[in-house]
Structure 1
Amino acid sequence: LRAALRDGSARCRQRDFAAAAARFSTALELCSKGFALEDPLKSSPDDISRLASWIESKLVICYLELGQPGLALHHSHRSIIQNPSHFCNHLRQAACFRSLHRSSEAARSAMVAHCLYVLAEGAVPDTSDLLQLYWQAMTQEALSEETSFSVLYTPFEREDKADRIKEANKTFAEKHPDYVQHIFTDPHGIHLLPEKAESHPGQQYLLTLGFRNKEIGKTVEKFVTQKLPVFPGQKTTFSRSTEEEAETFWQNTGKRIMAALAFIGSSKIKDERGPCARAIEQFHHASLLSHLQRGEEQAQVMAQAMAELATVPYLQRISQEDDKLLQSLMADAMDILAGGTGERVWTKIQKV
């Protein structure tokens, strides 16, 4: 194991990333067999997880350098699952998303990286500022690429939320007349923006979205305003449709809905619907991909959901009930990735 790690690191320094990836893959295989120290009997589960995460992070770097961001993203999810509290793992995930032109998800990963850094009492202001700049750049990039919706952030204190939402919707219509087919303000989350602590310490925002397409806007609103994220029309969309019709739905509608949901998640750490809400959205996304017979993409989204679930306890306190749901969903995700077909908590949520 040590030889493989030394050789992999040396190959990285020589910028021979293909050879480095091969050596790190060998090291990862050894680690998966219980080796984290020379004596496997002395290797604790924590030792193995930390080392596996480190090796995965090296594979992320190798595959990014090799121009294979899809593979890099796969390993970034795995590095987070093994060690979700380390902010660098999330920053590498952001780099993968950016390479894949998935800017909203890159913004979320950067936001999570910053929050974890601050929660770990990150004492270097320059590092915090750089993380926020990256988060800000990804948010701006996501908006610049988006044509189906626009957004407005409204500072929010402790005033009446219902009144503030009405004001926000009205202001949005005045500022963005091209996106008024459907307007709504996210009622279930307080949003954060990347700002230096000395300028707006702890400032929270309401997020208002407006859409060019009324049906897409309505669908997104239903998805984010229900207690549990439920994809409206999902059953009817796929139960009687041909594969061609399902593909048309995905290209014309599904992708836009998921893009809006990803953007909403890019500034929301805490969701009032529950700590697992974001992961449940990803389960729905994976279910759509399953209907489209896109197994590889489905597996990627399920791994992303697992990384999301693994990180939740490090971002907020969770109740015993929420922890039970989290563990059940994590088990469901592992079962889905393994090709299992048994009864799951996720199956019950789908039937809501």
Structure 2
Amino acid sequence: MDSLTSQERPAPSAPTRSGPARITAEQAAVVRRISVPSSIDMVNVLGPRDEFLRILERELDADIHVRGNEVTLTGTHTAVTLAADVLNEMVTVLRTGQGLTPDGVERICSMMNAAEEARPADVLTHNILSSRGKTIRPKTLNQKRYVDAIDKHTVVFGIGPAGTGKTYLAVAKAVQALQNKDVNRIILTRPAVEAGERLGFLPGTLNEKIDPYLRPLYDALHDMLDPESVPKLLTAGTIEVAPLAYMRGRSLNDAFIILDEAQNTSMEQMKMFLTRLGFGSKIVVTGDITQVDLPGGTRSGLRVVQGILDNVDDIAFCHLTNHDVVRHKLVGRIVAAYDRFEATDAPVPPRTR
């Protein structure tokens, strides 16, 4: 048997002193039994020590009981249908040969609860790049939209809070394009603006001075390429990591160009960068408009660019939220807490002696 099979019947109702209760079809309790294909190991569905089962019980309103390869769901028709759909998505992911993780199960439940138009299995099995024993994939629907936009458009803006994979996925698409010979080189750049602190005098050569600003881009590269190959590609100029100031006056052809931390560009710098686009090239601009480190009075180029380029063909704007954070779970909660604080514009409580 290659697919889930299910049988649904009304759950027995408890008698009441006041007589039969009048309930709608949506409120009526039902029981559905689902048979998981014998080719799927139930340990992979339920997780080690039933970890996935506990997540399903926490995230879904239906009662879940498992016996062998048969799963019994009890609850309202809506809750049982949702739980059955979640199980179907989990089995679909497992059939691709990709294992499930606790985070993946939570994301399947979240996407199904949000009634997104895309299937969670399509999102979680969309491979971008396989390297060093791991595969890079989008983990949320907005991330998949972002990746799809990079495929379809010449210029893409990825705007969202920290940890949503804006830069990481862009670098993965750049490495993929280089490996597929769609481009001849990758150019990674970001403005050399200090994040709310003064680094002071930095010793060493010019490259050593700007290295701290570009370190996040190097980290992403080392995740996706063999460590031995990165210095060779940098020396050959196939991959270039440079501050934004180095882009002035250049015309960049057959290149995949990523501008990171774009919220720290001025309007003039943003215009200068976008006009570097040459033939056969693609540009991805990433940034978080809530973390601007520009000196007072300087307008962020990222904050105003959508109003300028929103109706220009072949340019896409992708917005990610705290729901798309793929770092530690606590990062998403921290971002959401700051969003709530800034929405209320509450004053910071004064320090007490």
TM, length-normalised to structure 2: 0.33
Higher relative CO (CA 8 A, sep ≥ 6), structure 1 or 2? 2
TM, length-normalised to structure 1: 0.33
Q: Hey, which of these two has a bigger chunk of helix by percent?
A: 1
Q: Hey, which of these two has a bigger chunk of strand by percent?
A: 2
Question: Whose radius of gyration is greater, 1 or 2?
Answer: 2
